[in-house]
Amino acid sequence: MKIVKLKTEDGFVLDADYYASNSSGAVVFLHGASVSREDEPAHVRAIEALKDSGINLLAFDFRGHGRSTGDSARDPSIEGELEDVKTSIRFLRENGVEKIAISGASFGGSIASIYAGKYEGEIEALFLVNPILNYDTSFFHPTTLFAKTFFGAVHKTLETEPFFQMPDRDFRLGKRIFDDMKKFDPITFLEMYQGPVMVVHGSNDHVISFNNNKTYFDKLKNEHKEWRTIEGSDHAFRDEVGQREVAQLLCNFMTTHLQ
Q: Where are the alpha helices (DSSP H) in 138-230?
A: 145-158, 175-181, 186-192, 210-219
The list of the chain residues with pLDDT below 70 reads none
Helix (H), strand (E) at residue 245: helix 240-258
Fold of 2-133+186-258: Rossmann fold (3.40.50)
Q: What is the pLDDT of residue 259?
A: 82
Q: What is the pLDDT of residue 169?
A: 87
Angle at 108 between CA 105 and CA 113, to 5 degrees: 100
Helix (H), strand (E) at residue 30: strand 25-30
Q: What is the pLDDT of residue 120?
A: 87
Neighbours of 252 (CB within 10 A): 11
Would you put residue 106 in left (φ > 0), alpha (ψ -120 to 50) or beta? left
* Cβ atoms of 130 and 202 closer than 8 Å: yes
Q: Please spell the DSSP secondary structure of 81-92, one letter per residue.
A: HHHHHHHHHHHH
b/e map of 151-174 (b: 16 or more CB within 10 Å)?
beebeeebeeeebbebeeeebbbb
| pTM score of the predicted model | 0.97
58, 73, 74, 77: which is closest to 14 by C-alpha? 58
The DSSP bridge pattern shows strands 13-19 and 2-7 to be antiparallel
